Every structure is written in C-alpha cells, then in structure tokens.
Amino acid sequence: MGGNATKVDSSSWNSQVMKASELVMVDFWAVWCGPCQMLAPIVDELATEYTGKVRVMKLNTDENPEIAGQYQVMSIPTILFFKNGQVVEKLIGARPKRAFKEIIDSLLSKSSATA
C-alpha cells in the first residue's frame, strides 16, 4: 500500500495517534478486504488534500489485531477519527470521498471553534 497515508502499527500508535494534537483519521484495513482496496485511493487523496490539517493513517488489522480489538473494530474498512487521543467519529464501510470530506470539514470546524 503505497501512497500518502502513513502506516501506523502497535509500536507507533501512541506517538502517531494518541499524542497527536491535530485531527487524526485512521483507516483500519486488511490486504484481503475488497472494499478496503477500493477505499485506499480515496484515503490517499484525503491525506494529500488535508496535509497539515489532518493526520491520515492506515492500520493493517491483520498485523495489529490488539489495536483493532481495543476499538471494537469488527468489520473493515472502519475509519476512526481521533482528537486528543479520543475517538470523535466512526465510519464503517466504504463511502464516497464526499462523505469523508463532509465529516472532516465538520470536525475541523468544531476544533477551530473551540481552539
């Protein structure tokens, strides 16, 4: 999985996701998951479009089952949005890019209003 989204795993989870000050979007995926493969280019496009505003990460659930279990990720793709180490939004299943942009823009406007 090349592209612009950053790979995260159990060793980098705390520093990359839990301690991040900006909004973090984590794509929980697996190699064998068809909808995950369809979603991958959208996730990479979002990583590019929101550079400097949103940290876009990808977590392979087969390689990191303990993190997937910690957040009750039962089906993939699941996208979790984190702010200050807390889950602020959860999406399950592949969605059109527009749906992700609406959620990201909404979460960014909330965080800038409270900043």
Q: Which residues are catalytic?
A: 33, 36
Question: In the numeric block, which tokens belong to residue 98?
Answer: 């527009």
Distances (CA, A) of 28 to 49, 71, 89: 20, 10, 14
Dihedral sign computed on CA atoms, order 55, 95, 104, 70: negative
Q: What amino acid occupies position 12? A: S
Question: What is the C-alpha to C-alpha distance for residues 13 and 34, in angstroms, rounded to an integer?
Answer: 25
